[in-house]
Amino acid sequence: MAVGPQLQHPGAEGMGDAFHPECVWRDVIDLSSRWTGPILHVLRERPLRFFELQTALEGISDKMLSQTLRTLVRDGLVTRTVEPTTPPRVTYELTTLGHSLADSLAPFIAWVRRHATDVLAARRRHDEPQSG
């Protein structure tokens, strides 16, 4: 997704850097990763420990959870806090930046909740044989 200036009408010269490959949103926040969105979303409510995230995100593997969390930490969206107990207790929490991102995703999530059935219905309609 473009992160450049607002799109001029396509075809015009004014496209500017709106859609340069480097500006595609994927390079900034990788929503294309299966779990980035869900993790940001569950962390909105409160900080969570590793195993709590794993529970909340039914089906995520260790690998993907820690991998996605590492990216989020690296990008300044989530903090990782270790209490050096035995066993260790590691807590993940949204930063201010992460919160603002998660908030910006809320309308989209609400849209999916509200319109999932519409999309599914359209898909069914499209796929069913055009019999007379």
Chain residues in the site for a second copy (CB under 8 A): 1-4, 7, 9-11, 15, 18-21, 24-26, 28-29, 31-34, 37-38, 41-42, 44-46, 48, 52-53, 55-59, 73-77, 97, 100-101, 103-113, 115-116, 118-123, 125-127
CB 35 within 8 A of CB 64: yes
- Residue 132's alpha-carbon distances to 67, 122, 128, 129, in angstroms, are 51, 19, 12, 9
Q: Which does 50 bind (CB under 5 to 8 A by kind): a second copy, DNA, none?
A: DNA
Q: Could you give the string, one character per residue 4-33, with x where binding to DNA holds by CB under 7 A and - elsewhere?
A: --------------------------x-xx
CB 69 within 8 A of CB 36: no
* CA dihedral (68, 74, 77, 80) positive or negative: positive
Using the minimum distance from each CB to a second copy, give the nearer residue, 27 or 88.
27
Q: In what order do the strands lie in the sheet with 48-49?
A: 48-49, 89-94, 78-83
Using the minimum distance from each CB to DNA, give the nearer residue, 24 or 106.
24
Return the SS3 of 47.
Answer: coil
Using the minimum distance from each CB to DNA, give the nearer residue, 100 or 122.
122
Interface of this chain with DNA, residues 34 to 93, rule: CB under 7 A: 34-35, 49-52, 59-64, 66-67, 69-70, 80, 87-91
- Cα 86 vs. chain centroid, distance in angstroms? 32
What is the binding site for DNA (CB under 7 A)? 30, 32-35, 49-52, 59-64, 66-67, 69-70, 80, 87-91
